[in-house]
Structure 1
Amino acid sequence: MTVTKIGKWGGLLLLGLLLLVIYGSFDPSESGYFPACPFYSVTGLECPGCGSQRALHQLLKMEFLNAFKQNALLVIAIPYVLFGFYLDRLAKPSEKTYTWKRKFYGKKAIYLVLGIICLFWIFRNL
């Protein structure tokens, strides 16, 4: 690994840790530091990301049910994204790894995830 890659990954790791400390320390529903959703501000409807900041805060406090109530899609998406990161960066390349990547992150999976996001967006506003 080159020095540039180490610096890039180190910087991203530090930024991620800083964000986790901020979200763990301050409640987005009570603090004025966090931005409001522009879509909600304009339309009064919740987008798929609405409640993500509050859900992350609840997850960091280990209150999974409250996090799920704030934004179920985020809570479900975190393991999915982490699995993709594992397959892409940490798993040894093999036929099995390729099969998992194709099954969970291929073209059909992308359309399925898009459909889930759209359905979540619609049903949370009914």
Structure 2
Amino acid sequence: MKSKKLYFAVPVLGMLLYVYYRFNPAKYSFFPKCPFHYLTGLDCPGCGSQRAVNCLLHLDIIGALHQNLLLVMSLPFLAIHFGYRLAGFIKQKDYRWSVIYHPATPIITGIIAVTFWIIRNLPYYPFKH
């Protein structure tokens, strides 16, 4: 069952990465819009993630940081986590990064996300351009 998910996920991920590389979400309207931003005019923790992915795929790290700092800062943690998962898949063992599965991780992640959410909506430079 695991291998079927992986064999399905890899081409889908590849297609998504191609779309985000080829089409800039800031210029094309077929990308999903943030309902929170639409209703309130404020940015949620995920606002700018699509544009940040486009910037990262074009190796524009500074542009990605300007679009969504939280997404860019989370990438090393996601890479380590998926590295463990990939090693477990290859070796057919259950490798887990203990930090991800620690009971405090969801609480800390939530605090970071809410703090980022508040700070990015402050009406002062550098939070508002």
- Shorter-chain TM range is 0.7 to 0.9
Gaps of 5+ in 1: none
Determine the C-alpha separation between the residues in 1 that align with 2:2 and 2:100.
Answer: 27
Matching residue of 1:117: 113
Comparing 58-67 with 83-92, which one deviates more in the overlay? 83-92
Distance 1:8-1:104 versus aligned 2 partners, 3 A rule: closer
Do structure 1's residue 40 and structure 2's residue 37 form an aligned pair?
A: yes
RMSD, aligned CA? 2.0
Matching residue of 1:58: 55
With a CA cutoff of 8 Å and minimum separation of 6, indicate the structure with the bigger relative contact order: 1
Code of the aligned partner of 1:45: L
Do structure 1's residue 103 and structure 2's residue 99 form an aligned pair?
A: yes
TM-score using structure 2 length? 0.83
Instruction: Say if 1:49 and 1:71, in contact at 8 Å, map to a contact too.
Output: yes
Gaps of 5+ in 2: 123-129
TM-score using structure 1 length? 0.84
Deviations 1:7-66 (A, max 9, x none): 321111000000000000000000111011000000111000000000000000000010
How many correspondences in the alignment? 119
Alignment identity in percent?
36
Bigger helix share: 1
Distance 1:6-1:87 versus aligned 2 partners, 3 A rule: closer
Do structure 1's residue 22 and structure 2's residue 10 form an aligned pair?
A: no
* Deviation for aligned residue 1:109: 2.3
